[in-house]
Amino acid sequence: MKSIHIFVIALALAVCCAPALAQHGHPGDMGSGMGGGASMNHGASDHAANARNNMSASHGQTMNDILTRNTQLAGKIQHLTGMSAQQACTGFKNLGQCVAAAHVSKNLGISFSCLQADMTGTALKSSTACPAGTGSKSMSLGKAIQTLRPTSDSKTEAKKASKQADEDIKESNS
């Protein structure tokens, strides 16, 4: 009788917890990279990606609204890029992309304006020091790094910057 009760409790627990466990990542699961709508690794990265994506359109607010309200994050972006957060984030799909690009710029010494142009597909003025063709089409963070700094490990740098962006966004929301 006692073993039947234990079995029933274990079965009920398994049924209740299965949906929650199914949402977590699987060991060795590899995402396809960052930016451009590409999926990320499962697990904690999904939660952070959802937080970044929600930052761009949470409750009908624009990125400018969020940055105006979140002065800590706006200050971090301004420190990393040397321009106002609103100006720096213009054209990005979400706030996470903008913050990650700001970190790549600082980490690798790449012009933020060149990264912004490549990621948003916005052409720059001809007087900029960016390579020819910069901003001709929008691309992922990894592809922009590869284009602007071919000698760097673009996947590692994009992943590092995305993690830094996730941390910044999380810290600024707490």
Residue 15 contacts by C-beta under 8 Å, 6 or more apart in sequence? none
Secondary structure element (H or E) that encloses residue 67, with its range: helix 63-69
Binned at pLDDT 50, 70 and 90, residue 33 comes out as very low
C-alpha count within 13 angstroms, C-beta hemisphere, residue 112: 24
Better-scored residue on pLDDT, 49 or 95: 95
Structural contact between residues 82 and 174, judged by C-beta atoms closer than 8 angstroms: no
What dihedral angle (degrees, nearest 10) is formed by the CA atoms of 75, 137, 58, 55?
A: -40
Both ends of the chain: CA-CA distance in Å?
49
- pLDDT tens-place string over residues 130-140: 887 888 899 99
- pLDDT tens-place string over residues 71-112: 999 999 999 999 999 999 999 999 999 999 999 999 999 999
160 has pLDDT over 80: yes
* Residue 140: closest CA among 87, 108, 106, 96: 96
Exposed/middle/buried for residue 30 (C-beta within 10 Å: 0-12, 13-18, 19+): exposed
- pLDDT tens-place string over residues 54-77: 444 456 788 898 899 999 999 999
Tell me what the mean pLDDT of segment 27-34 comes to.
40
Binned at pLDDT 50, 70 and 90, residue 19 comes out as low
